[in-house]
Amino acid sequence: EYGPPGVLNMSWPQAVAIFAQGNAAMYTDASSIYANVLDPTLSEVADKTGVAVFPAGPAGSIMYNVTSWGLAMPSTSKNKEAACEFIKWATSKDVVMKTQGEGAVPGARESVWADPAGAAAFPADWVAAVAASANGRGYDRPLVTAVTQARD
């Protein structure tokens, strides 16, 4: 009733396109495609768009989680030490500073967000929303391992 037709089955690119064309009042974004909204060459609403945390409701304010890609190593790995060293390197402050600061790929290191060089590629309201979400929920929905069956 309050969203575009087919909203329950939309992909991220479809939803962001509707918002970027000015046909939706708000949009909850995955950080991987935020540029589609904030880049004036891609968005009709770039100059009218802001980033904020969800407002408090009757139960107060529960910050949303800051999502980030994760790395894991299977227990059956034959190269556990090498895998562990790679994960340490890939998630190190230096690497996250480079990918976030130079590549504008948001990371999950609070120390990088607190560094002006790490936050420089993002709008000030985005940086403030990330800071406000630092102590958010570990995950925003119940853990479901049978995802396909749950969605059906």
Same domain flag for 122 and 84: yes
The residue whose two tokens read 């800051």 is 66
- The SS3 assignment for 60 reads strand
Q: Report H helices in 21-142.
A: 35-38, 80-90, 93-101, 110-114, 116-119, 124-132
Same domain flag for 95 and 123: yes
Residue 64: pLDDT band by 50, 70, 90 thresholds?
Answer: low
User: How many domains would you assign to the chain?
Assistant: 2
> From CA 61, how far away is CA 141, in angstroms rounded?
16
Same domain flag for 76 and 136: yes
147 in a structural domain: yes
Residues in the chain: 152
Same domain flag for 71 and 17: no
What digits encode the pLDDT tens for the residues 10-39? Answer: 988 899 999 999 999 988 876 767 778 888
* Token pair belonging to 112: 């990088």
Same domain flag for 147 and 89: yes
Residue 96 pLDDT more than 80?
Answer: yes
Q: Could you list the residue range(s) of the whole structural domain that residue 128 is in?
A: 62-152
